[in-house]
Amino acid sequence: MFDFKAVELSDKAVLSPFLEENTYQNCDFSFSNIFCWQNKYHTSYALYEGCLFLRFTTSSQDNGYLMPLGRCPTKKVIERLIRHTQNIGEPLRLYAVYPSVFEKLDAAFPAQFMYCADPDLFDYIYKSEDLIFLKGKKLQPKRNHINKFRKTYDFEYLPITSNIIPQCIDLYDQWSANHDQIPGDKSLEEERVAMLRAFENFEALALKGGVIVVEGKIVAYSYGQQLTQDTFVVHAEKALVDIQGSYAIMNQQFAAHECSSYAYVNREEDLGLPSLRQAKLSYQPSILLEKGQAAYMIKI
């Protein structure tokens, strides 16, 4: 069986070579996401013959696994993972699986895995130049919001540094106070914990961030990091909704200052939230990255 170890900040040096070598534009393979959301997903890892295995806790409190990373044959590593889950008496479910990856899985294990796409977890990926310049008729409303913001406010873009992080946390608390939460839903608390882990370890995680300042007050912030050689991933973006256009200007300015050297910007999933889906679609993604679950169907 594998000996899984909980992911800690000190494991960045171990995991990063695997994460950075992969070409998946998938936000799930960001070390910052893995580390910052540890309180919710309890991600752990194991190494085997040059491959990285990642395990996490699903919403139903079962164990889920990401596709192994590394230069190992698909059949060999999946066979090893099948034996591991069978030995501990749990089903094998692989998450964040692309259709192209499932094709390789199905070729190695014909009719043994069942694939189910999950639109709530599709990644929204944009060309960086589209977010920066907002050209074309479909993005005209975004340009209008930004132009109105520029005419209304004298603003400044600043990179996130340790001295302004407390103000970013205050902004998050203001933002969350204006969002109703279903009784029993812990998503806002979980997001706050993830945000605090990011801000507390901002430099160590190699995060890049920016804020929009109006009249000395931070009205929006965003942060993320390099995901692959050609893709930057945006982990978080928050703005004060009473400052009209604050989200639009934050998006555009962050892309211009932090993402211009990358071909693509991954703005992560919509989590099935209608308002978030509408907002992400309105920016006309270049790629809607399909991801799903592959469940092993052979029982012993």
pLDDT in tens, 34-67: 999 999 999 999 999 899 999 999 877 789 999 9
Q: What pTM, to 2 d.p., does this model score?
A: 0.95
Q: Judge whether residue 287 has pLDDT over 70.
A: yes
Cβ proximity of 250 and 212 under 8 Å: yes
Q: For the domain made up of 123-268, give the CATH fold.
A: Aminopeptidase (3.40.630)
Interacting residues of 234 by C-beta distance below 8 A, sequence separation 6+? 222, 223, 224, 254, 265, 266, 267, 268
Instruction: Give the number of residues written for the chain.
Output: 300
- Print burial letters for 4-28: b (CB count within 10 Å at least 16), e (below 16): eeebeeebbeebeebbeebebbbbb
Using the predicted structure, report yes or no on whether residue 179 has a pLDDT greater than 90: no
CB 15 within 8 A of CB 45: yes
Q: What is the pLDDT of residues 115-167, one digit of tens each?
A: 999 999 999 999 999 999 999 999 999 999 999 999 999 999 999 999 999 99
pLDDT at 181 over 80: no
| Residue 278 structure tokens | 């509408």
How much of the chain exceeds pLDDT 70, in percent?
98
| Per-residue model confidence (pLDDT) at position 238 | 98
Cα dist from 200 to 129, 145, 167, 181, 226, whole Å: 31, 33, 13, 26, 19
Q: 35 or 187, which is more confident? A: 35
CATH code reported for the domain at 5-121+291-296: 3.40.630.30
Report the relative pairing of strands 231-239 and 264-266 from DSSP bridges. Answer: parallel
Q: What is the pLDDT of residue 300?
A: 58
Residue spans in the chain of domains classed CATH 3.40.630.30: 5-121+291-296, 123-268
Question: Phi/psi of residue 193, each to 5°?
Answer: -60, -45
